[in-house]
Amino acid sequence: LFSNAFTHVKVSSTTSSSNQVVTETTCTSSSTISVQNDDALDTTLFVIRAKNRIGLLQIITRVFKVLGLKIEKAIIEFEGEFFVKKFYVNDSNGKKIEKVEYLEKIQKALLEAIDGDDGGAGVTAPSAVAVSGRGVVVRKPGLKMELGDRKAKVEKMFGLMDEFLKNDSISLQKDILDHVEFTVARSRFSFDDFEAYQALAHSVRDRLIERWHDTHQYFKKKDPKRIYFLSLEFLMGRSLTNSVTNLGIQDEYADALTQLGFDFEVLAEQEGDAALGNGGLARLAACQMDSLATLDYPAWGYGLRYQYGLFRQIIVDGFQHEQPDFWLNFGNPWEIERVHVSYPVKVEAVAYDNPIPGYGTRNAINLRLWAAKPSDQYDMESYTTGDYINAIVNRQKAETISNVLYPDDRSYQGKELRLKQQFFFVSASLQDIIRRFKDLHRNFDEFPEKVALQINDTHPSISIAEVMRVLVDEEHLDWSKAWDIACRIFSVTIHAVQPEGLEKIPVDLLGSVLPRHLEIIYEINYRLMEELKKSFGQDYDKLSRMSIIEEGAVKSIRMANLSLACCHSVNGVSRVHLETLKTRVFKRRWIVVSNPSLCSIISKWLGTEAWIRNVDLIAGLREYAEDPDLHTEWKNMKRVNKMRLAEYIETLTSVKVSEHINFTSFFARKLAHLLSPDQAIYPIFQVSLDAMFDVQIKRIHEYKRQLLNILGIIHRYDCIKNMDETDKRRVVPRVCIIGGKAAPGYEVAKKIIKLCHVVADKVNNDPDVGDLLKVVFIPDYNVSVAELVIPGSDLSQHLSTAGHEASGTGCMKFLMNGCLLLATADGSAVEIAEEIGAENMFLFGAKVDEVPALREKGTTLKGSLQFARVVRMVRDGYFGLKDYFKSLCDTVEDGGDFYLLGYDFASYLEAQAAADRAFVDQEKWTQMSILSTAGSGKFSSDRTIEEYAQQSWGIEPCKCPF
């Protein structure tokens, strides 16, 4: 506590004839504390001068009490808005405090309590009165330290407060058992795996909080420019393994748990995913938070604490069903509820803080998530009138705002709830940001020098209008000055590529929910159009396209255009897809968690673990890409990872993947040509680990073309069915793995899932195919499942129609894990090909500049004969449900093939054949795999964050000293 005090300290000591010692401490907020030890007094006098606010007297007296000091007498005087409080204090033995170093530490503790720390708690507030006149109730709780006997000597108290938690095995065991008894409230002699996980998580959190507090105290002391990351989605996944990895104490915890009779890996599996996002956008946000912490940047993340995250996907008879994800049912040990940090946004926004540790650094930053709670004011009005039922209804309505990951917006009600969620999240975050700025600054001219706001996609774009409202209406800045400030603080990353994916809000809806914001947006648009006319004259078509207001049957606000009009830095919008989103979002630490065996190999061959933080070092693997010893280690690592995946698959399906090479394995089959066909063995439900694990896992969508994958599987199945036994021996066995969720209202996507299952039923039970082809659908795919699937994959498919994938973040994760890519020239695959060489990938399909012309051909554009055959098999009911799949077949035939599956099918089959040929030559395949990993450094989120920090945000690292 004392070693990290953030105040600017000025200490002067004088010894008079009466041996009076006077010290004075000041801080940036004009509070002063002087100390007098006059010989004429039998106590030490602390004179505190500070701005008056509710609760401050209790805070000061609590500090003295916690430090084991006795207040003998107190005198209070007022000087305008300041008060002067004199406290006559003795130590626990009733004597004056003589040592100067103790006096200095007490002064620092008092100042920290009076002026607050912005630590992870972020509990500072100017007072219990309104922030910007809006009635926010954010009260300073003061020091709440429970450090043993409060009557202990001051020396012992200081010693305890200067210590940090230890990480030796005995200390860890003691902490875990203490949490079993005192946090989980179980006997330390009888607790199960889940209770052990909870205790373990709390002990890890204790260590996170130490770093977290130190980091934010240091930020406040240095007062750097900070980046505030606004995102409605964060796919953080599981926190336990990531936290102990970043803290550097995973081995210590594993050893401590082993001695207690528990396995770290087993306990880690007890944690559920925090599924607070849909896909790549949310995973980007999580990875960037990790990188911001690791690179020591002063940063905060802001989002919503959804009561129910992304739905759980349940597969019943091949059909997707959605169930609520009750991820908070058993609590979340990683969050800290801040009931005293709340802001009014019609309802109360209550803060929940989540520490994010950096890797190889003491820094730990904060992800603050807002939950909606009913306003006490409205509840009291209802209770006062005796309307208890109405009070309960209002409470339920309030909590609805943050109940579910933003809803389907096809209905008016869905659009309205989504808009309320966006504004609720934005308003609370901006109130918090402005409050923090005002703690140390009064002039908004300094705002762009201290604050950078990053908008993650267009969901938080209403923050632009909210900033203008606050600056103009509440801070009384003129429009031009407010707009200049807004343009200097905002930057944005837009993830959608397709126009229909860009968010629009109906004018009528925005006017009914946020009328003042609609006025502000109209004013922004008017000034924008007047400015554009100077460049484009009366070109109304161009002006109409660039306008924030979209005219039409439903007059709407284009939120992407609003972002473009204001933000000084824009990522993800481009004229051609080659320049589309170039955000590199793979988090380097992810591989340490998900693929430790690969991590060990890389560290061994590079001779250092520094590559985990320095992304460029991994390119050094290229030097060893042909080394036979590395090949042996690489193949063993891949086999172990495939075994883990195979065990997981077996728990979900009837498909058993055998560990051992036998006559059903491909490489044994290469020798089986000496046997007669009737001597070959083809178990229906078993394949070997030597088979190619072919994976496509991502959100189910027509443009991602899982349907192309399934039709390719049908073609492979059809070919095998028509082969003689001699030809079958030359087939590369495959386990085709598909996973992903369809949006609840997306019927085409749901039919694709069902088609996958009926094809799997047919293929997996056909004795003519045997072990040559298996199809598996992994339900409820999430971040944790990805940690099994991605390291265990040989080939990964990324099939989006060129020009539709904004980035394809999964592509990068597979690349880093040495998985070969079969992909269209879309999204990040373009840059990956440039980095590792197209010869180390399997590229296919139309290029982005060819797509528009191909679509114009309409019904004259014909697919290959192979494509027509496999679609006909589905249409004719070969796999059952003929009527059900008719509409799905219609989407790719009769001129309706918008995503060009038919046109790309022949090229797709050629790429698959090339993958088969490469897989047969295992030395070549392994070399390609090593080169894939070696070329992945460019796609680290660390590199992206460094670029953003320098080019967009204007922030510098602020490393908390150890």
575 is catalytic: no
> Which residue in 108, 698, 729, 757 is the catalytic one?
698
317: exposed, middle or buried (C-beta count within 10 Å: 0-12, 13-18, 19+)? exposed
* Distance (Å, whole) CA 297 – CA 137: 29
DSSP state of 58: H
Two tokens, residue 883:
């009527």
> Which residue in 420, 495, 750, 751 is the catalytic one?
495
638 is catalytic: no
User: By C-alpha distance, which of 823, 907, 822 is closest to 863?
Assistant: 907
Rounded to 5°, the CA angle 885-710-904 comes to 105
Q: 55: phi > 0 → left, psi -120 to 50 → alpha, else beta; which?
A: left
Sequence-separated (6 or more) residues with CB below 8 Å from residue 67: 106, 109, 154, 157
Sequence-separated (6 or more) residues with CB below 8 Å from residue 408: 414, 743, 744, 745
How far is the first Cα of the chain from the last one, in angstroms, to the nearest whole number?
A: 13
Instruction: For residue 347, list its beta bridge partners.
Output: 345
926 is catalytic: no
> Which residue in 150, 186, 699, 875 is the catalytic one?
699
User: By C-alpha distance, which of 164, 165, 180 is closest to 260?
Assistant: 180
699 is catalytic: yes
Give yes or no for a contact between 606 and 305, defined as CB atoms under 8 angstroms apart.
Answer: no
3-state secondary structure of 743: coil
3-state secondary structure of 248: coil
User: By C-alpha distance, which of 694, 702, 781, 680 is closest to 746?
Assistant: 702
> Which residue in 140, 420, 813, 938 is the catalytic one?
813
584 is catalytic: no
* Distance (Å, whole) CA 104 – CA 380: 46
Supply the DSSP string of 553-594, one letter for each residue.
SS-EEEHHHHHHHH-SEEES--SSGGGS-----B-HHHHHHH
Sequence-separated (6 or more) residues with CB below 8 Å from residue 504: 550, 556, 557, 558, 559
Kind of pairing between the strands at 70-79 and 82-90: antiparallel
704 is catalytic: yes
Give yes or no for a contact between 249 and 166, defined as CB atoms under 8 angstroms apart.
Answer: no
Distances 411 to 322, 399, 509, 747 between C-alpha atoms, Å? 19, 20, 12, 16
> Which residue in 801, 809, 933, 944 is the catalytic one?
809
User: By C-alpha distance, which of 798, 899, 807, 234 is closest to 494?
Assistant: 807
Residue 895's CB is within 10 A of a number of other CB atoms, namely: 11
> Sign of the CA dihedral 329, 333, 339, 342?
negative
Supply the DSSP string of 190-232, one letter for each residue.
S--HHHHHHHHHHHHHHHHHHHHHHHHHHHHHH---EEEEE-S
The amino acid sitting at 417 is L
- 550-557 long-range contacts, Cβ below 8 Å, gap at least 24? 550/504, 554/506, 555/506, 555/507, 555/508, 556/504, 556/505, 556/506, 556/507, 557/504, 557/505, 557/506, 557/507, 557/510, 557/518, 557/521
> Which residue in 305, 338, 704, 729 is the catalytic one?
704
Could you give the residue numbers annotated as active site? 495, 698-699, 704, 809, 813
